[in-house]
Homo-oligomer: A and B are copies of this chain.
């Protein structure tokens, strides 16, 4: 999906949010865990199966309500190859359901490694006469500390309806240590955004936004506001909503006047919404739907998506 297609999906659903699929074993409803362990034992395979059924359950529940999902690769990878097998299934399932699927890789590779990883998500891995795309998806999140060399292998697919989101200003507390360093009249995270603009050259869609987006924290409304004004052609992926403290009032500044140009991500506050109600989690899907609706409504109080 191109950035235009993502924007169109958001406009149709009137929902500028993205749900993070961040499975954490001990927070998955017990019945799902029990079932997975019954089939595969208390093994990494069993845990991966719980991740798969829970993630697919969330995808089923939010289908038609939420336009996009962000797969947290590290959560799956921590379970080893069984976790990665589950992630491949979850990713494919999300695409089947019609979601825009973003892989939150958090990696920053270069050279042949970056080329291989980009091919595994966006292109084709050649094996003899056969080709495979184990992580077929619409976009990836990349760490650009290594500069252009780490970005080019991915952006070469941008003209084929693939997106790259680059970490600019993250929402964690220590983000400022490196990302807010001031260099002359620029700040490190803005240099990243300047590079994103430079790499965008001919990658603008009809919406006016580049296929190369940036991740910018929702927890700092003033910063969001000034970055939105300055980088009016970069699509913003906005983390920090919910568990990390930002709300609709804060993230409204990520959007342009038409309510376009941004998508707000939340994971745990949706996935584990059931925990607040003290039950056994049998209702996790309904609770996730409610939480996702509340998030959407909260944002739409401040933002009108035309």
Within 8 A of B (CB), among A123-145: 125-130, 132, 134-135, 143-145
Q: Which residue of B lies closest to A148 (CB)?
A: B174
In contact, B195 and A188 (Cβ under 8 angstroms): no
In contact, A108 and B143 (Cβ under 8 angstroms): yes
Which of A3-11, A36-44, A257-265, A275-283 faces chain B? A36-44
A120: CB under 8 A from chain B? yes
Q: Which residue of B lies closest to A78 (CB)?
A: B116
19 contacts between A and B (CB under 8 A): A74-B109, A74-B113, A74-B114, A75-B113, A77-B77, A107-B107, A107-B143, A111-B172, A145-B145, A145-B167, A145-B170, A146-B170, A147-B173, A147-B178, A148-B177, A149-B173, A178-B192, A181-B183, A183-B188
In contact, A127 and B179 (Cβ under 8 angstroms): no
In contact, B134 and A81 (Cβ under 8 angstroms): yes
> Total interface residues on A, using CB and 8 Å?
73
Q: Which residue of B lies closest to A170 (CB)?
A: B146
| Complex Cα–Cα for A143 and B113 (A) | 15
Per-residue interface assignment for chain A, residues 175 to 197, with 1 indicating a CB less than 8 Å from any chain B CB and 0 otherwise: 11111011110001001100100
Q: Which residue of B lies closest to A77 (CB)?
A: B117
- A42-B130, A80-B84, A183-B182 as given contacts; A113 in contact with B22, CB under 8 Å: yes
| Complex Cα–Cα for A147 and B46 (A) | 33
- The minimal Cβ–Cβ distance linking A63 to chain B, given in whole angstroms, is 25
In contact, B149 and A78 (Cβ under 8 angstroms): no
In contact, A110 and B192 (Cβ under 8 angstroms): no
What are the residues of chain B within 8 A of A179 when measuring CB–CB?
145-147
| Complex Cα–Cα for A211 and B277 (A) | 44
What are the residues of chain B within 8 A of A87 when measuring CB–CB?
81
A212: CB under 8 A from chain B? no
What are the residues of chain B within 8 A of A128 when measuring CB–CB?
33, 37, 42, 46
What are the residues of chain B within 8 A of A113 when measuring CB–CB?
22, 72, 74-75, 78, 106
A303: CB under 8 A from chain B? no
What are the residues of chain B within 8 A of A146 when measuring CB–CB?
167, 170, 172, 174-175, 178-179
